[in-house]
Each structure stands twice: as structure tokens, then as C-alpha cells.
A = this chain, B = another copy of it.
Amino acid sequence: MLEIDLIRHVKVDGKPALYGCTDVTPIASENARLLESLISQQQTNKAYQSIVCSPLTRCQFLAKEFSRRCDLPLEISPNLQEMNFGRFDGIAFDDLYFEDCFFEGNSVKNEQHHKVKTELHWSQLEAFFQAPAEIVLPGAEALSDFNHRVVKAWQDLIAEQVTIVTKKKESAIAKRILVVAHGGVIRMILAHILQLDWQKASWHQKLQIGHGSMSRIIISQPYQYEQLHQQVTSIAMPFLEEL
């Protein structure tokens, strides 16, 4: 049996924005806290045998230091990179162009004016959030391409880590792997295993994958069957704070 924990990087050092391929650094103090939690977990029966990581700095900072401190093999998987949001990628929400907004609430009219610092419209982002599989942001990766890339990364990882037992003998030795990745990537892997519709906006909008949270996958090979069984046993457990 193989247990794979998918951990999301901590908060990044930057204004609120869609961070996809933009390479931002994680907040050092939070990264250090997460690292210490992982190191102390290595002393328990929940120790990892190896680490797989996105190529981006916000994930690698954690993975490299954890690998060095605990002497664990580390593999960088380029396909685990976050979705590329094109021209919106890394642009602070504050710098987007808003039309004058009128919210009708109990006969109260409220105007919001924003300075125009870019020509990117908030409404484009809003349309993308509502229909992420239909709207492709300018210069961005299509959601379907992102899905294919992440599913390929996952299948490659499984193929590399799991030996399918073809003879009637004890199943492969139990091991645990840590994958350090992004919110969008983790959501795609979960949708793949649960066979859910990853095109639905609600899957991306209604399920929060918190910073530093952990999702757990168990992979087993049922007795005498030459195929793997993948199950999700937890999604987005807060790893740092108390439950």
C-alpha cells in the first residue's frame, strides 16, 4: 500500500492576486512553521520516504529544506506546476480595471471607483470563475490542457512509485510520499481520483484547499487483481493549526 499526502504551499509574499506560473516566494515564517511540523512528523510512524514537488519556488522552498534536513530523495515534477493564468497571472486584484459597480442592496446604492492601472478587466476574471472550462483568459492555459497535464503528472508519479504485483504474493511494501503542490493542482488530482467533473465551476469555487493543508490518497492493489485501487481519505486537513 502507498499513501500519498498532497500538501499545498503556505501563503505567498505578495498582494492578493491569481498566482499561477508567476514565481513568488512563500512567507518565510509560515514556511518555517510548516517545515518544523513536517520534520517532527518524521519521528512518528507517519514518516515519508520521498518527496515530489512542483518546480515553483513557493513549493520548492519547503521541499528542498525538508529533503536536506531529513535526508529524503526529492524529485521535481514540472507538470505539477500551477495553472498558467496568462496576462492575469500575478497581477494584483487591486490593479484590475473595474467598471463602476452598483450593488442594489435594500435600496442602498453604492459606488466603487478603482484606479485603472492595467487594461485587465475584473469582469473577464469573473466570467472565467463562472465558467472555467469555457473561458480561456488572454494568454492563459485552457482548463482542459491544465487537467491533462496534471493527470499525466499523477499517472507518471504512480507508475514510478507503485510496482504492480503480478504474482500471487505479498503486495508491494507500504510507503509514504509527500507531494508539495498548488491549490488548483491538488483539486485536479482529487477530481481525477473521485471521477468528478473538473469542468464544473463549483468544484473550484466551493472547495477551499487551505494554505499548508494536507489531502491524503491511499493506493492499494486488491487481492489477486492486477490493477490499482485509489481512494481519497481526507481533503484539506489543516496541518498547522489545531483542529
Contact = CB atoms under 8 A, between A and B. Distances in A.
A4 to B, nearest CB: 14
A200 B218 CA distance: 20
A174 interface: no
Given A167-B106, A200-B195, A242-B44, A233 B206 contact: no
Given A195-B200, A206-B231, A168 B108 contact: yes
A29 interface: no
A158 to B, nearest CB: 15
B236 A234 contact: yes
Contacts of A210: 233-234
A48 to B, nearest CB: 13
B243 A231 contact: no
Nearest to A241: B46
Interface of A: 41, 44, 46, 103, 105-106, 108, 110, 166-168, 193-197, 200, 202-203, 206-208, 210, 213-214, 218, 224-226, 230-239, 242-243
Given A214-B243, A233-B236, 19 more contacts: A46-B242, A103-B225, A106-B168, A193-B206, A194-B206, A194-B207, A195-B200, A195-B202, A195-B203, A196-B196, A196-B200, A196-B202, A197-B197, A206-B231, A208-B233, A213-B234, A234-B235, A235-B236, A237-B243
